[in-house]
Chain A
């Protein structure tokens, strides 16, 4: 969905490096999410945020941190990357307003991260 963008799209880094993945949205949604996808494991929630002042841990938050700089921006950081953090990372947004799009999540195109 072009309304949710992620940068970079691909990144190769080395063990121990600090990495930041960025997500921006123009949908005006309050809720934003970070997921990682590994083959055969589906999507697992890392962190989520319901508004600028709200940060919540997901299923697999260890080794990650996030920052919600504005309603439209939600960044994911790997403080010291390790090889098992090699995965496809997705940002998503949603809106709980009533209507046909209730709680539908809109995904960005993903960031493919490789940690050597």
Chain B
């Protein structure tokens, strides 16, 4: 079964607004990552946050991690039409043999110009 559950499944906003996506997971993790997928294409890594980190920034992206609640959020500020894509969280479980990630079902973001 999937480790990550993402919320909402779909999000539609206007250009310039902020977009927030949430991810919940079930077991202890080493790190959590966010990926982006443009329609029908391969996923692209956005940001990684380790289990001992609480917040991380990269450009217009802000990721938070709450290990007590087993949840993470991805905030995209000042969204652009080019941000339209699906966003996936992926967790590396604590028991991991090394390198295996478990992906959530994704949030489909639509940014209208």
Q: Give B contacts to A, CB under 8 Å.
A: 2, 4, 9, 31, 33, 35, 40-45, 48, 88, 90, 92, 97-106
A42 lies within 8 A of B45 (CB): no
Are A103 and B103 in touch, CB under 8 angstroms?
no
Q: Can you name the residue of chain B whose Cβ is closest to the Cβ of A4?
A: B42
Interface residues of chain A, those whose CB is within 8 Å of chain B, are 1, 4, 31, 33, 35, 40-45, 48, 50, 56, 58, 88, 90, 92, 94, 96, 102-110, 112
Complex CA distance for A82 and B101, rounded to whole angstroms: 27
A104 to B47, CA, bound (A): 9
Contact A110 B41 (CB under 8 A): yes
On whether the beta carbons of A104 and B43 are closer than 8 Å, the reply is no
B44 and A45: CB pair below 8 A? no
List chain B residues, Cβ under 8 A from A103.
31, 33, 48, 92, 99, 101
CA distance A90 to B88 in the complex (A): 15
Report the Cα distance A94→B4, complex, angstroms.
Answer: 20
Which residues of A sit under 8 angstroms from B88, Cβ to Cβ? 42-43
Between-chain CB contacts (< 8 Å), 10 pairs = A31-B99, A42-B88, A44-B103, A45-B100, A48-B99, A50-B98, A103-B33, A103-B99, A105-B90, A106-B45
Which residues on B sit within 8 Å (CB–CB) of A112? 40
Q: Which of A40, A45, A96, A106 contacts B98 (CB 8 A)?
A: A96
